[in-house]
Structure 1
Amino acid sequence: MLDPETTAVITGAAGNVVAYLLNGQVDAARAWVGRIFRGRGKQEAEPSALQAIEEDAKALAQQLTTEADVKARWVAFMAAYLAENPNARAEITAMAESRPDRADTMFVAKQENQGPGTFVGRDNFGAITPPGVR
């Protein structure tokens, strides 16, 4: 049985695995999981975790599983791993505290600007006046 603080950390990290996958950041999720499971304990832990990321990303994208199921899988996976490797807690905590959303990045699939006026695709601070125009 895990203490409440450890349970919260593992649940947060597992939730972030799902958030990374749902935000299209599979590479970031893969990097975090690799960092957590690398070089500790059983040799098969890292490849198993990386394979699970790929499977979960595909299953979520194809709507073959639910967010709750993926999160539960990662809670169980991380809890078992942490029980064997207490030193992995720092990386799991860091993942739980990470931000899966990238507020500084804007993804535009297609943007069409038609008609007169200025078109802004990001946050704008100040006037929207071309230089030299008053």
Structure 2
Amino acid sequence: MVDFRIFAATLLGVSNFHYFLFFKKENKQFRLKVYLTVLFILTILSSLYIIIITPGFFNYKILENGLFLLMINFLIPGYFLMLFGINSLLENILIIRGYFTYNIIFCILFLSSTMLYYFLIMLILTFNFF
């Protein structure tokens, strides 16, 4: 039951974040640039943290580990760019005017696109190392 609450809170948190930050707001391109810049900085910092905390990161498979970190640095911001695309899609649908309909449809699209993105990432990472 606790897992379901965490899952529902994550869904609504991401949905509310995009609703209040991007949905039918002015100066959206500037907000997107700041949003993606922060995401790229966070992924690079997390990559540096992984390099520092992992003993022998460069000793054994330097090319494989480096490619993995490079892929992660592009896949994570790509995922959030996909969520921004869902928001842009919902702005163009005339039925969606309010908070409730936006959240319901965003959560459904968020779940389905997350599953598709997960399988795409696994496919890319699987073929990357062969």
Q: TM-score range by the shorter chain?
A: 0.3 to 0.5
Whose helix fraction is larger, Structure 1's or Structure 2's? Answer: 2
Give 1 or 2 for the bigger CA radius of gyration.
Answer: 1
Q: What's the TM-score once normalised by structure 2's chain length?
A: 0.39
